[in-house]
Amino acid sequence: MPDNITIEPVTRIEGHAKVTIELDKEGEVSDTKLQILQVRGFEKFMEGRQIEHAPILSPRICGICTEAHHVCSAKAVDDFFNVNPPEPARKLRRLLHYAGIIQSHILHFYFLASPDFLFPDAKEKRNVMGIVDEKPDLAKKVIDARKKAKQLTKSIGGKEIHPTTATAGGMTKPITERERQKHMKDMESILEFGEESVELGRNLIEKRKELLDSLGGVDSYQMALVNDGYHEVYDGQLRILDSQGNIVNEFDPSNYSNHIAERVQPHSYLKFPYLKKEGFPEGGYRVNALPRINACDEFRTEKAQTLLEEFRSEYGKPLKPLLYNYARLIEIVHLSEECMKLLEDERITKKNKIRTDVNLDKGSGEGIGVVEAPRGGLFHHYKANEDGILTDVNLIVATVQNNIPCEKDAHQIAEKFINNGEVDDEILNHIEMLIRSYDPCLSCASHAAGGKHPLKIEIVDSEGSLKTSLDNFKNGK
């Protein structure tokens, strides 16, 4: 009888992950570890650079969450210089951010998650090529919708990935009137696609409804931005819910360090954030699309509000991970509606409307930016010296905040389905399916564990000669 059962790699996620299921002498599950084995270390890479360069550097963390990192970093730099961008600039940032979330949600649902629902009994088809082969018309719609969302991010951000236009005090360029008109039409198409996607997702989940209760869902807190109670992804207050969906706290994001603490574990390069004032619950806390639609009172847009009411009529405010997929589809509809409203403002085409003058010689010593990335709350916290050189960078990304409940959910599934050391492909895919529902973005999330498990990174040139080394990343970074 094996001592461990290993899933390596976890498939159809961004990055590299491994699951180790430990068995006792009777073959029963004793522990489950979600192990992230890649190292990025962007927090250390950014130290020593000028703070105004941070919005250009930070999107390189990831090619999927790139827009979220860009606007979040720009907000932190705004805070450092104590500037408030003009309203048209904030609208451009919102458009960039919303389109980034839309394209990410499309990518996740159709390329990574939906094969589990479309082909539950055909392992060889559970991938994007299975969709292309079996549903070519749907595949074309998916590609077209994501392409249109990415074209909007390119128009605003200057590049298709790793945008460059959000800067201290605003944006460096507007969009053209021609682009504005084009993207308004494109958003109408994406909205229609989003509504079709909700219907498809609802039907697929309904067909596999028996999995909703059996796959995960340990009790935990939830956290998301809200703005006067409305669903929000760019600006607002952080609201915390308990496992029943009751509001237990709400605070300004700039005070996040009074509420959120981080620790490291020896088995993973991911950090393990937890809520300080609410204690350290067994399940930690959750972020992402499902906590966002649980936390808000309502949506500002009509179609999304109708979908929210239907969702809550059916499910209430659930913690069931598979419903993350459903929540993302509702957000596609909502953010498409929001983009259409933002694109109505002609001021986003005027260069003299999108920038506030910034005195780069005057900074506060630190700056904090917070947004909701596609996968949940994202925090950029910068400290700089009197010359504006970054001395400390802390990034708390969405995936690490889901780390504790995701690992606990995986353990719950393993404990439920694995007995006497016996396991099959279906059980292992259930665990992967659970992890996929969180849509982890591990390039963003991976750090290096410190403390008892120091990490030494050596950087060498093409000849193998040592150029520099980074010993024992501090604070678990």
- Please check if 395 is assigned to a binding site: yes
Quote the CA–CA distance of 15 and 42 in Å, as a whole number.
15
On whether the CB atoms of residues 329 and 105 are closer than 8 A, the answer is yes
On whether the CB atoms of residues 308 and 204 are closer than 8 A, the answer is no
- Please check if 444 is assigned to a binding site: yes
- Please check if 296 is assigned to a binding site: no
- Choose among 397, 442, 455, 459: nearest CA to 15: 442
List the structure tokens of 29.
């599950």
Quote the CA–CA distance of 13 and 113 in Å, as a whole number.
9
- Please check if 62 is assigned to a binding site: yes
CB atoms within 10 A of CB 164: 14
Neighbouring-strand partners of residue 332: none
CA 315 to chain centre: 23
**DSSP letter (8 states) at residue 349:** G
On whether the CB atoms of residues 349 and 177 are closer than 8 A, the answer is yes
Residue 273 main-chain phi, psi, to 5 deg: -70, 150
On whether the CB atoms of residues 176 and 95 are closer than 8 A, the answer is no
- Please check if 72 is assigned to a binding site: no
Continuous H helices in 378-420: 398-401, 403-417
Quote the CA–CA distance of 174 and 455 in Å, as a whole number.
44
Q: Per-residue DSSP letters for 273-293? A: EEESTT---TT-EE-SHHHHH
Quote the CA–CA distance of 14 and 452 in Å, as a whole number.
28
Handedness of CA 23, 25, 30, 35 (dihedral sign): negative
List the structure tokens of 310.
């239907």
Q: How many Cα atoms are found within 13 Å in the side-chain-facing hemisphere of 274?
A: 16
Known binding-site positions for Mg(2+): 43, 62, 395, 447
Q: List, as residue ranges, the binding site for Fe cation.
A: 65, 444
- Binding-site residues for Ni(2+), in ranges, read 65, 441
- Binding positions: 43, 62, 65, 395, 441, 444, 447
